[in-house]
Structure 1
């Protein structure tokens, strides 16, 4: 049953006081209008009309239902107008800052599909893992990963981000699978240099933080894909987001470890300066991106 069509039929009968006139206005059959109303009555468990040979009148329950139905249809109409206006008026260059690995692995399809829907919006995308100043550097929006601290900026969650500890099957076979973070060999940690290891008191993060202070032989890089390649080669273990390592986990090139100590899920957020008076191009992008990847996102399917 199409609930919107059902409510539209019910409202039209109520306004015109006739199934026949309602059918004429809706350009459909009398039988279909009657069917819609009967289905709505059955669904709600109440009689909506008192029917006579001359007139159709709303019952008390029908009066209440009419108010609700009119409100619902008005809301739907407003929503359609809102997004219709966005699609018609969203135009201009959208300046976006985004993290490198996430963008190279997952952002291109989003930009492509967004451009198809909003062809008059141009995109100027700058990839960087540093924390950019959205206002000072002239960005409309920045995509950031983490647990966000309070600020004057507005944040909209785009997707969840999980961090997992993993290594290659060959590494685990050679050195054994740890059962506690204390079992990890500190010199084998392939460390991402931009990660803040002070943000969590999780036992795993605490061990990784403590080990990094004393270890002079570890590999450190500011790119997660480089670290992942080293881990696949059996050079050590990594703590990386599943949007980077998900495919390698799915293919069996990497295996997660210490799952009982997994860190709290972070998020990918769209950061922008103001909540009110958003430019149509920015509002369109945020609305589009916030529902694009789903939850859980596809990269967690491994």
Structure 2
């Protein structure tokens, strides 16, 4: 049984949400689709799907395998299409969506470098921290930060995103240096609106899921919170791509290193790859190699 074909079948089942719909899309019988997926699970010794009479959903292992499968199939298609892309003329308007802070801090040079290599591509940026429907919004490529769930979109990891717990030397001198997450209850927390505080430290100790942090300043922008921390306003928990410069020049200090939240990722997200325009393909290839395994903002700290 062809492994690549089996992986493609699994991807189709997850995207379509059922064996019958996947079979229709792949022009196969539902029985054969079911056989392929069962063989895949047997080979991996892991259940990938929850099956009910109404729908199919992924297990935790299935979620992880889905993202890995997607990446493998994407790499194979890139290899097959690379020669074709070389001969294609790259031009047109490319619309890119990105998170506000990351876009403002780390995209300008990338965009200038990309445009220098592809001068006939015009770039249009949409910076927002709100997760948008890229198809409805007419976005070619979206940069997203976090742990992505399975979807019909293609996701390609660009770089790791590390999270630091930071405060200014002045604040720590006045309030003391916390030695454990519990100590944060006696400090001022600069809260990022979209962060779930209850999950920040629960992977270290389930009892910490009920940790109550006092936040005098809440904001939906990490730059503002990092700047507030620099001025001695409290403790912030923010990505190093925002806090890295202040950590490097000593304006902020990294604390509770052993309790830092788990790293997440910077991803490129775009619609189905079939007949992908050369402008999108060129941008995806360019960005995927740009930051490397250790981005420059992590090399500073």
- Mark yes or no: TM-score above 0.5: yes
**Superposition pairs of residues 214-233 of structure 1, within 5 angstroms:** 215=214, 218-233=216-231
Distance (Å, rounded) in 2 between the aligned partners of 1:289 and 1:209: 39
1:121 aligns with 2:111: no
Deviation larger for 251-260 or 194-203: 194-203
Secondary structure of the 1:211 match is coil
Q: Give the conservation status (yes or no) of the 8 Å contact 2:167–2:255.
A: yes
The aligned counterpart of 2:141 is 141
TM superposition shift of 1:210: 3.6
Sort the Cα spacing of 1:132 and 1:80 in 2 relative to 1 into closer, same or farther, 3 A: closer
CA 199–173 in structure 1, closer or farther in 2 if over 3 Å, else same:
closer
Q: 1:150 to 1:81 in 2, by over 3 A?
A: closer
Q: Please list every run of at least 4 consecutive aligned residues from structure 1 whose deviation after the TM superposition is greater than 3 angstroms.
A: 77-83, 196-200, 203-210
**Equivalent residue, structure 2, for 1:62:** none
Cα pair 2:161 2:265 within 8 Å, conserved? yes
* TM norm structure 2: 0.68
Q: What is the CA-CA distance between 1:205 and the residue it aligns to?
A: 10
Q: Which runs of 5+ in 1 are unaligned?
A: 1-76
Runs of 5+ unmatched residues, structure 2: 1-78
Shift of 1:277: 2.0
Number of residue pairs matched by the alignment: 221
Shift of residue 83, structure 1, vs aligned partner: 5.1
Structure-2 separation of matches of 1:255 and 1:79: 47
SS in 2 for 1:269: strand
1:1-302 correspondence to structure 2 within 5 Å: 81-82=83-84, 84-85=86-87, 88-185=88-185, 188-197=188-197, 201-203=202-204, 207=208, 210-212=211-213, 215=214, 218-301=216-299, 302=301
TM-score by length of 1: 0.68
Aligned position for 1:50: none
- Aligned CA-pair RMSD: 2.3
Q: Is the 8 A contact 1:144 1:270 kept in 2?
A: yes
CA distance 1:89–1:157, shift in 2 (3 Å): same
